[in-house]
Structure 1
């Protein structure tokens, strides 16, 4: 190292900061360093700054941690030498020049925040931001476009502000004003994020925390992207629709694929759901078990019984896919009345009942019951009732949907209208509105025949809710398939759903189906001679078999007891 460079470095070490001219002047005295590119010089500063703790670790105890040490550890010198293809002597000379800069160099996060602060202070009013999303293509992607054939660059500019969520190393992310200069839509997925507001963005139009809709959209988008990645395809969604409708077609396509090909977990088998066992005759076999049950997580659906079309909005009672169903929105909600709905001059809105005073009173009574929270409790009771009706093996199409839920009693003589809802009289779901027994018929004979009987009216003032989601689960917890039961968990529908799911390609037909109403399901199989279930064990789970099924039911005790199958017993 020549004397002029030593003197220059000595002068610079006396100051806590170094200007650019002094740094490049010092580098210019070394033939090897003066050819160092600006990019490599910047990277060297970043790498050296990231290794500050490694530089301090082998230094003597008396060396200050505030000032940079004069000598680099040999391993650091060799690392920088190999990284930037310079000699060890050149690294030592370079360290003498830039060590003060390296020691006070801000981290990438601190530098990023400083740049964003400068843009917020001086660039926001000018439409400038630290992060700008440009389209990946600088020319039109349409091969038939004249501009694309001529190689013309895209110049159309449309600006809008968006929010970009990113996952940072410290699990905290920033919100940044974005200007979009493209017609193409961009989306980013985050797995875990927290948002904090910059002090300079108090008047920003966006909220500082994600909304429920954004979380749901992110979940849906992540699921769709994962699905397309598994199929090596590209997700395409429209950009000219409302946000709530953008993913509808893609989700419908994914659901249709699952219906026709099954879920990825359909052929699943592991030690938790498939057992290899030895029979008394010495033969070795394997058995796979699937458990099915209904989970009461209903969703809004068309009020027409057994209609599977989705609602356009939860403000509607009937679907729009069927014109006959859609027309019922303009008709009185009371069954048997085909008059048009009345117009409320006070609110300026249409009612759901016609001008008949009795029908209007029914609608008002239903509104009061809904806001009182009684209907929420009633849905819980109705779920229990559905389980009770399932255990009886009743056909779904024969069940009166409205009768088991609620109705209105109208006394013509007094004009009184009362709302009656089915109530559960026991934990098993038996209700007081089931068909009359012979003993009840004898009690009804004592009622005075001249007494006016209330007229029973039914109405549909709101959309209906699906009954449950029927799940087919392996004992290890993996869900093999599911289906929606729109009104009741009828055993006939459970059998049809099971056969459809395990007849799909790559499906593994289990040797045992466990179901809390398998005794009724097995009767259905034998009466209809369904070949798909031949040779399959159909048992009731131990809890229901012991506590919910009668010991006097010989059919259930002989054919649906898990104890009759050695492969299902504990070792």
Structure 2
């Protein structure tokens, strides 16, 4: 606001001469905050109204400390054009508090949420307008909500929807719903604010922070919510958290949410998680030029997103990751052979990690469970009353999980004596390469996920580590295997480039059998012979290669299959002639640089699993559709970070001859 504008306004309205410059400035700032609420009553929102609605006048007068609205009316007459043409201001915390104190009693607020359109979007509707600034919608419905923001904390807000009586479509802040279809059709793109529940909205900027907390900090939705509530939900939260240190200003620090507001200012873990999934779906649709559609009449937000999450999961299988076609000088090498021709070496690596989701207790069954509380899928419910000892055909005895066989009963007794849940969860964390403090995992009962193994000797049952039980039991001992609790999938397999970019992920339900799951996973990742890498590094390549040769599978005939150096030295026998002949990394001299170093990082999967294994405690009880979506999204975010880091360090795809990067089959 220039002095010339102020002078001209005072000349037209002499009463303004009694108002301080600070008061005039506050009026313009508060009026700017009310602009969206003023616009909703205008036929054309671009046209500045000559008079304000009465509730807006009262709101502005109260915020300015005036007893009546006379001065507010005068200020609006003088400065309305300035308010209408200037950019929306960024208010201070005190201005937000003052504005909300004055406005919430009039069913409006700072950041009042309205639909982004004022006219019907149905092309053949009489209320449709090409200019969305023209108001053709009506029948306003307003209710209270809480908006969780990154900058201003948790805000009390009102949200208003508009209705088209002609085509019977109601327009909300993120989407519109036609009365006949009962489907939520989102407007396209990614909104600044995402509605995660009827009364809760979260800023996209905050959801992006949550996503990165999950990617780089392995934070669960619960811990994201705790951090927000403890550190970000209120401006000057550090004062509220440290009362003794800030005694002088503690009592003057107010929450932005009134005490009598009927929605909480504390973000809930379910809204954090639903927000993450919905935000990710909106991002995915925006990136592919699509429109998100969800059912409107489902009872929960979780059920509402189920089908959309499943469709995205299917699209990500095999070649769906956006960085699938990545190449840089750490995973793609071009050299000149003895004939003077350029030859490319594009490498990939594969390994598993023992994280998983709940699955049917029948080995390798891939049918989803009816609920996480059940141990068998719908097709195997008849087995729920069978003895927990594997291969025992008898039914359980009342009050037990085993039959009346005394050896089985002794196994059950020994299992429940060894302690509660933490033994198992921490054991799985250890196998995943993740070491955490004892108190970092929630203290709740977690039953055994995979089978437990006991030797029954003269002194009673002795538990055997499943990872070291390949040998025979001691003389005179019997070995029994049992599953007393639920079962989880066997492991997650990753295929990645040797630079650290992950190409694909797959769940193995049973064992890591090379004749089934791994072979199918590798073919899904490299669906044509032309797309196969020159080198595929896998710790069990000897068995995979032997199996493919035995069945005359030619899909990977042009792919070398070395075992990574670490596993070859410690887990592969010298007497295994097939392994030594076809999978010894030293058998591939082109993989060794002139100075004797390995051309590729063959242990990249082991290193990446340190990051990937950090999700074991977060995903172990996720429903399978959300589980798959969550892990694929974590990989997508991490891949973007890895590619950015590679470029920053000079490992760009453009450092190699572009004519040799990909065959047509790889350019997806």
Could you tell me the TM-score, scaled by structure 1's length?
0.62
Count the aligned residue pairs. 438
Aligned partner of 1:502 in structure 2 is 526
Cα distance in 1 between the residues matched to 2:339 and 2:17: 91
Aligned partner of 1:472 in structure 2 is 495
- CA shift, 1:173, in A, is 4.0
- CA shift, 1:471, in A, is 0.7
Superposition map of 1:399-438 within 5 A = 405-406=452-453, 420-423=462-465, 429-431=467-469, 434-435=471-472
Checking the alignment, whether the CA contact within 8 Å between 1:139 and 1:154 is kept in structure 2 is: no
Aligned partner of 2:280 in structure 1 is 223
CA shift in 2, pair 1:504/1:214, >3 Å: farther
Aligned-residue Cα RMSD (Å) equals: 5.0
Cα distance in 2 between the residues matched to 1:364 and 1:139: 69
CA shift in 2, pair 1:556/1:340, >3 Å: closer
- SS for the counterpart of 1:531 is coil
Cα distance in 1 between the residues matched to 2:153 and 2:304: 26
Checking the alignment, whether the CA contact within 8 Å between 1:272 and 1:475 is kept in structure 2 is: yes
Match 1:529 to one of 528, 552, 565: 552
Checking the alignment, whether the CA contact within 8 Å between 2:456 and 2:480 is kept in structure 1 is: yes
Give yes or no for the alignment of 1:278 onto 2:336. Answer: yes
CA shift in 2, pair 1:354/1:236, >3 Å: farther
Match 2:506 to one of 483, 486, 492: 483
- SS for the counterpart of 1:532 is coil
Checking the alignment, whether the CA contact within 8 Å between 2:233 and 2:265 is kept in structure 1 is: yes
- CA shift, 1:483, in A, is 1.0
TM-superposition CA deviations, 1:40-68 (whole Å, max 9, x none): 99xxxxxxxxxxxxxxxxxxxxxxxxxxx
TM-superposition CA deviations, 1:416-455 (whole Å, max 9, x none): 9x7653226xxxx432x6346xxx6xxx4xx6xxxxx87x
- CA shift, 1:522, in A, is 1.7
Superposition map of 1:59-208 within 5 A = 108-110=89-91, 113-120=94-101, 123-124=104-105, 127-136=107-116, 153-155=137-139, 157=141, 160-167=143-150, 171-181=151-161, 186=174, 187=194, 189-190=204-205, 191-192=208-209, 194-196=232-234, 198=255, 201-204=258-261, 206-208=263-265
Could you tell me the TM-score, scaled by structure 2's length?
0.54
Give yes or no for the alignment of 1:290 onto 2:343. Answer: no
Structure holding more strand per residue: 2
- CA shift, 1:525, in A, is 1.8
Cα distance in 1 between the residues matched to 2:102 and 2:21: 25
Cα distance in 1 between the residues matched to 2:94 and 2:405: 67
If you compute each CA radius of gyration, which structure gives the higher value, 1 or 2? 1
Q: Which has the higher contact order (CA 8 A, sep 6+)?
A: 2
Greater shift in the superposed pair: 279-288 or 535-544:
279-288
- Structure 1 residue runs of 5 or longer lacking an equivalent are 24-36, 42-96, 344-350, 385-400, 448-452
Checking the alignment, whether the CA contact within 8 Å between 1:272 and 1:476 is kept in structure 2 is: yes
